[in-house]
Amino acid sequence: MPHRKLPPPGLATARDACALLWLLPFLFWLGCSGNIGPAGPTPNGEDAGCVEPPPEDGSDAGVPADVLVPSRLLRRSALALRGEPPTGEEYAALEAAGNEAAQRAYVSAFVDRTLQEPTFYRTLFETARDWFNIPPVGPSADPPEYGLQQQRSIVRCPEGTPKAGAWKYFRDDKDACHGLKPDGTPAEERALEPWWAPGTTTVLVGFAASVSPTGQTYDASGFPVTVNCATAGPVANCGCGPAAARCHADTGSYPGWEDYGLHSPQGQRRLVAEEPARLFAHLGWHDRPMTDLILGSYSVGPTRLQAAYVMQGLAGELTYLLEDDSWWRPSRFASAPVDPDHRQGDPTAWREYSVPARNPFFLEERDYRYDPRTQSTAMKGIPAAGMLTSLGFLSAYPRERVRGARALEMLACEELSPPQGQEFNEYKRDPGTEGTCQHCHRRVDPAAIHFKRFAKMGHGFEGHGATYPMPGVGKVWHWPARWRTGEYPYHSDPFSHWNRWYMPDTLLTPVTQAQADANPEAVFIDFLPAEQTLLGQTSDGTVGPLGFAKLIVASGSFDRCVVRHLHAQVMGRDIDPAKEAGYLEDQVARFISGGRKARPYIKALTQSDLFQRGR
């Protein structure tokens, strides 16, 4: 709203003048609220409706009325960019700069310098961590049994034993530290370079050292079963494999706690929860477009986090990953971009990596389409989609509707509120089209359909036990048609969930009963059919979370959401999309013109009239 002056004397009645005088404070407040009128943004790019005209006479003529003095502007800049006030030395340098023009130049240089300091990265990370608010992976049973690693715990043999210092399986190999097998014969022993300590030599003893291609386990009835160690994973008396990749070394007081406890910066449970926020900070620090957060095929993570992706690929029987050392050998990732707190080549650094290289079931392809209603061959996988295919996001929310709802809230700034005083048709079987719940499910289910192909099965136990099937993908994650009956062994999750909620002819599962009967895996359809839309957009058929990401980017919701959160960080307040639509669109245009990068947009905000105003 433009600044308004009182009418000249004689052009208004006394009553009108009195009314305008009463309204003047409110008109001033509205004029600086950030709203943009019908005319849209001003030609010079200033914040329309928020520029207070300078006084027309007096000693301050030509100076805007509410411009912060340099010391206050320095304080606001420091709090916005690094979350703490300026130091005494910085205030002293400001004073030493000279006159007001020189001091303002100092503040501008301070902003430029801070945007290049590690503290800016940490501010972005903390902003995203609070924004996404992704919880750590929940425990399967009693802590520390959260299960994500899909590796087997090994511990050191204690002092005083013949094999002191060697590593053995924590359970089911009690005589290994004495150099014996359970039958009393000599135990196997092997020296290797382990993935968790590159450049060193570690000794494995007992079953952990086995290189036999087959092993023995037991079925549910207790009968022995021979397994292929290359595909069976860390079970029975199979060994840890090359570089001990199928095992994780526990140095804590009890196996699992080291990776479970959130107090440990390198604990895997904490790492997977932080990955989305770290990716956001990485994009801002390295001047990448923020759309890579959900459209990119890469992510960031230290070696211990990347191990979780490799194990998921191995669980799908991509055994060639056992011979790949690119995820743990420093020379193989020496040039990967990292966070500013670590050097390149540091295994603990948050370094950039290709998600498909770690778990090839997360595809590099950007337009992969698969329709289970018409295709019966196995699905290759789902395209990698930044934080949306991160194991922290997928594992923290074990249901597709929760994933879809949270993705809408986080990344499209959707508000899913209950209805007020509405009447709905009777609920029978589909919450997307029936009953009171359809108010939200009509919006949630077209998002949730993209998040079906990742689930949890079983319970974690000291690092292994739980598995994470990707139904319909690859060679492994398929089951006989009787899984749809819910009978043993298909009576528990995730089958019970799929059987209950993946019902044909529903909004979440738009397949006919005949199609589901012909191919039970058709219920895993994970793209939006042409007859449905999300945020007004029609899908191009891309499957999985990437299909969802494309829709929210095309709708403009993602850009608006990122702008609102960056604006709140720097300016101290959100932008109301209903009352400040014009201002929001102006900010989005500014964000896009800067390549959708965080640093240029934040710099522009610190130069805006709104940022530099106050008392």
Burial label, 226 (beta-carbon count in 10 A; 0-12, 13-18, 19+): exposed
pLDDT for 19 beyond 70: no
Q: At 203, is the secondary structure helix, strand, or coil? A: strand
Write the pLDDT tens digit of every residue in 509-566.
Answer: 999 999 999 999 999 999 999 999 999 999 999 999 999 999 999 999 999 999 999 9
Check residue 49 and report its DSSP letter.
Answer: T
Q: What is the pTM of this model?
A: 0.89
- Relative to beta strand 202-205, strand 189-192 is antiparallel
Interior/surface letters 426-435, b for 16+ CB within 10 angstroms, e for the rest: eeeebbbbbb
Could you tell me what percent of the chain has a pLDDT over 70? 89
pLDDT score of 18 more than 50: no
The pLDDT of 317-321, averaged and rounded, is 95
Residue 34 has pLDDT above 90, yes or no: no
Which secondary structure element, helix H or strand E, spans residue 600, and what is its range? Answer: helix 598-607
Looking at residue 264, its pLDDT comes to 87
* pLDDT score recorded for residue 30: 37
Mapping DSSP to helix (H, G, I), strand (E, B) and coil, where does residue 208 land? helix
The confidence band for 3, taking pLDDT boundaries of 50, 70 and 90, is: very low
Of the two residues 247 and 62, the one the predictor is more confident about is 247
Average pLDDT over residues 144-167: 91
The answer, yes or no, to whether residue 26 has pLDDT greater than 60, is: no
Instruction: Give the integer Cα–Cα distance in Å for 211 and 168.
Output: 14
- Any residues with CB less than 8 A from the CB of 512 and at least 6 apart, and which? 504, 505
- The residues facing 167 across adjacent strands are 156, 204
| pLDDT bucket at 39, cuts 50 / 70 / 90 | very low
Segment 370-405, tens digit of pLDDT: 999 999 899 999 999 999 999 999 999 989 999 999
Name the residue among 369, 399, 363, 358 with its Cα closest to residue 384: 363
Per residue in 266-304, pLDDT (tens digit) is 999 999 999 999 999 999 999 999 999 999 999 999 999
CB atoms within 10 A of CB 113: 11
pLDDT score of 145: 80
Q: Residue 504 burial (CB < 10 Å; 0-12/13-18/19+)?
A: middle
**127: burial class by Cβ within 10 Å (0-12, 13-18, 19+)?**
buried
> Does residue 159 register a pLDDT over 50?
yes
136, 281 contact by CB (below 8 A) = no
**CB 259 within 8 Å of CB 268:** yes
Confidence of residue 66 (pLDDT cuts 50, 70, 90): confident
Confidence of residue 614 (pLDDT cuts 50, 70, 90): confident
pLDDT of 213 above 60: yes
Residue 45: which of 591, 598, 613 has the closest Cα?
Answer: 591
Q: For residue 366, what pLDDT band results from cuts at 50, 70 and 90? A: very high
Burial of 52 (0-12, 13-18, 19+ CB in 10 A): middle
Is residue 153 within 8 A of residue 247, CB to CB? The reply is: yes
> Which amino acid, 7?
P
DSSP 327-368: TT-GGGSTTS---TTS-TT-TTS-EEEEHHHH-TTEES-SS-
Q: Please report which confidence band the pLDDT of residue 422 belongs to, taking 50, 70 and 90 as the band edges.
A: confident
Residue 140 structure tokens: 């399967």
For the chain, give the mean pLDDT.
88
The predicted-structure confidence for 163-206, as pLDDT tens digits, reads as follows: 999 999 998 899 999 999 988 999 999 999 999 999 999 999 99
Both tokens assigned to 198? 């590159």
Contact 243, 325 (CB under 8 A): yes
pLDDT given for residue 44 in this prediction: 41
Which residues are within 8 A (CB) of 433 and not within 5 positions of it... i.e. 6 or more apart?
A: 442, 506, 507
**DSSP-assigned letter for residue 321:** G
Tokens at 107, concatenated: 């503040």
Give the per-residue pLDDT at 589: 97
- For the ranges 136-150, 192-206, 280-294, 449-463, the lowest mean pLDDT is seen at 136-150
Cis peptide leading into 356, omega within 30 of 0? no
Cα-Cα-Cα-Cα dihedral of 79, 81, 84, 88, to 10°?
-90
Contacts of 342 (CB under 8 A, 6+ apart): 348, 349, 350, 351
| Residue type at 206 in one-letter notation | G
The C-alpha angle with vertex 527 and arms to 526 and 532, in degrees rounded to 5, equals 125
pLDDT tier at 222, thresholds 50, 70, 90: confident
More confident residue, 63 or 468: 468
Name the pLDDT band for 64 (thresholds 50, 70, 90).
Answer: low
Structure tokens at 258: 């080291």
State the pLDDT at residue 120. 97
The pLDDT assigned to 615 comes to: 66
Query: How far is CA 586 from each of CA 3, 53, 254, 410, 413, rounded to the nearest angstrom?
Result: 19, 21, 55, 22, 18
Is residue 65 very low, low, confident or very high in pLDDT (cuts 50, 70, 90)? low
Sign of CA dihedral 9, 13, 16, 22: positive
- What is d(CA 366, CA 291) in angstroms, rounded to the nearest whole number? 14
For the chain, give the percent of residues with pLDDT over 90: 74
User: Under DSSP, is residue 319 helix (H, G, I), strand (E, B) or coil?
Assistant: helix
Question: pLDDT-derived band of residue 369, with 50, 70 and 90 as boundaries?
Answer: very high
Number of H helices, E strands in the chain: 20, 11
Region 5-10 average pLDDT: 37
- 3-state DSSP of 526-570: CCCCCCCCECCECCCCECHHHHHHHHHHHCCHHHHHHHHHHHHHH
Query: Which of 607, 611, 613, 608 has the alpha carbon at shortest distance from 109?
Result: 607
Identify the pLDDT of residue 60.
Answer: 37
Q: Spell out the residues 6+ positions from residue 507 whose beta carbon is closer than 8 angstroms to its own.
A: 430, 432, 433, 441, 442, 445, 446, 532
- With vertex at residue 72, the alpha carbon angle to CA 68 and CA 78, rounded to the nearest 5 degrees, is 125
For the chain, what are the domain ranges? 70-132, 152-244, 268-552
